[in-house]
Structure formats: C-alpha cells, structure tokens
Amino acid sequence: MAPEDSDSRQDWVLAALDSYESRLLRYAQRLVGDEHLARDVVQHAFLQLCLQSPRELNGRLGSWLYAVCRNRAIDHKRRNCRLESFAGGGEHEAASREADPAEILETSDAGELVRRAIARLPERQQEVVNLWSEGFAYREISEITGAAESYVRVMMHRAFHSLRENPLLRPLIEEEADVR
C-alpha cells in the first residue's frame, strides 16, 4: 500500500502544481519583483507542500501555498534589506490621487484601469484586495497574511470604498451592472 500512497501524494502535489504554479508565480513576482526570485519562492512552497499531509490542507491548499510564498518572499526581502515592504506599516505612504477625468476616456482597458486604481491604495490594502481578487475569502486572506480576519475585513472595507470613490473605476462599475 505504500507505493499507492506515494502515488496519490504525487498526484496531489502535481495537481496543485498545475493549478497554482502560474498564479503563485505571479503572486510571488508581485511581492519580490524579480522573476528569478519569484521562481525560487514558488519552488520553495511546492517543496514544502511535498511534506504536507493532503488531509491537513484539505480545503485550504490555496491559502496555504500563498501563505508559504508570502512568508518566503518576506524572508527574501528581509535578507535583501528592503524592509520597507508590505510586511508592515505603509498605510500612509500611498496617498491616493484624484483621477483625471480625461484618463477615464483614454484608457479603455478595464484591467489596466483597475490595476492603476489598486496601485494607488495604501500597500496593506493593496495586498488584501489583490488576494481577494485572486478569489480568496476573508478567512483565507487572514490565513495567508497572518492578520486577524477582522483586520482583513476593515482593510477590505477601506480599500473597496476608496476604489468605489475612484472616478477611474466608476464607469467600469456601472458597466459591470450593464454587462450581459
């Protein structure tokens, strides 16, 4: 029965790899910036995954992988003495700007507009919003970031309200109502 066990584990890890590798790479790249580093981070996460019990992670595989990536990425950044990052503080730095009405018309790419708008949020909020957009629920975001769920909730609230008030996104929100 032992070989069967290792087979199923292998299937499990490989399936996780299929599902999450590119997402995690993107995520990690956003955190560490460098693609090479990002690959390191993701590899670390999957090697760690090889040691985990599928049952333990049942239902939270995604958040687990993201959490490992995130921690690893923070490690990397710490090692590189770039402490300014997402790990702490940072609420005040990114003063969101009022958008230029002309911009609304210039850029028709919804994705670009959204990214731009998110980029103007304080970093803490950015992280939470990005994770949520990836499809994670508050609970999972809290698992990934190690922050309390209540904190995630408040961050999401702030972020979403600033986004809602961002004139850049306004037409898109309305469009969203009309789409289909």
Partner 1 sequence: MMSQEERQDNAPSRQSPENEPGGDESSSGQSGDERALLTAYALGELDEAQRAEAEARLHESADERQAVDDLTRLGKLLRSVAANSSSAAVDSSPELRETVLARLTDPPQAPLPLRLPLRERLPRRRFWVPLSLAAALAVTCGALFALMKTKHGERVATRRTLSRSLAAGAEGGDTIADLTEFETIDAPMAGRFAKLNQESAEHETRDGKAAYFDSYMTSGGAMGRPPQGAESTPSKARASHASSDLGAAVDEATPGGLVTGLEGPSAGEPADFDSAEQKTPRLARDRSRYAAQGRGDQPGQMPKASFAFSPARRGREARGEQGGQQIPNDQTPRDRGAEDWGVRFEEELGSKMRSGRDAGEEQSQRHLQREHIAADGEVGEGIGREPLAQKQRAQEGGGKSGGGQRSGDGLNEEGQSSDAQHWFYRQPNAMAGGGLMGGRGLPETSQQGDTNSLLGYTGYEGILAANGESYPTLVETPFREPTEYPLSTFSIDVDTASYTNVRRFLNSRAMPPRDAVRVEELINYFQYSYPQPEGNVPFSITTDVADCPWQAQHRLLRVGLKGREIPADERPASNLVFLLDVSGSMDAPNKLPLVKEAMMLLVDKLTENDRVAIVVYAGNSGLVLPPTNGQNKEVIREAISRLVAGGSTNGGQGLQMAYDTAQANFIKGGTNRVILATDGDFNVGVVDQGDLVRLIEEKAGGGVFLSALGFGIGNLKDGTLEKLADKGNGNYAYIDTAGEARRVLVEQLSGTLVTIAKDVKLQIEFNPAQTAEYRLIGYEDRLMPEQDFDDDRKDAGEIGAGHSVTALYEMLPLAVSQADVQPLKYQRSDNTRGRNLTAAAATGELATIKLRYKDPDGEQSRLIEHAVTDRRPPGNEASQDMNFAAAVAAFGMLLRDSPYRGDASYQKVLSLAEQGLAGDASGYRSEFVQLVRQAKEISGKE
Q: Which of 31, 69, 78, 83 binds partner 1 (CB under 8 A)?
A: 78
By CB atoms closer than 10 A (0-12, 13-18, 19+), residue 22 is exposed
Task: Decide if residue 34 touches partner 1 (CB under 8 A).
Answer: no
160 binds partner 1 (CB under 8 A): yes
- 92 near partner 1, judged by CB under 8 A: yes
Residues contacting 120, CB < 8 A, separation 6+: 94, 96, 97, 162, 166
Residues 6+ apart with CB under 8 A from 44: 68, 69, 72
Binding residues for partner 1 restricted to 102-121, rule: CB under 8 A? 102, 105, 108, 110-111, 114-115, 118
Work out how close the CB of 20 gets to partner 1 at its nearest, in angstroms, rounded to a whole number. Answer: 7
Which residue in the block uniquely carries the two structure tokens 């923070």? 74
**98 touches partner 1 (CB under 8 A):** yes
Q: Which residue of 34, 80, 84, 176 would you call a contact of partner 1, by CB under 8 A?
A: 176
Instruction: Tell me the two tokens of residue 89.
Output: 């503080």
Question: Should residue 73 be labelled a site residue for partner 1 when binding is judged by CB under 8 A?
Answer: no
**Is 174 one of the binding residues for partner 1 (CB under 8 A)?**
yes
| Residue 4 CB, nearest approach to partner 1 (Å) | 6
80 lies in the binding site for partner 1 (CB under 8 A): no
The CA distance from 41 to 29, in Å, is 9
Q: Which residues contact 73 (CB under 8 A, 6 or more apart)?
A: 28, 31, 32, 37, 38, 41
Task: Note whether 128 binds partner 1 by CB under 8 A.
Answer: no
- Residue 147 touching partner 1 (CB under 8 A): yes
Q: Does 146 engage in binding with partner 1 (CB under 8 A)?
A: yes
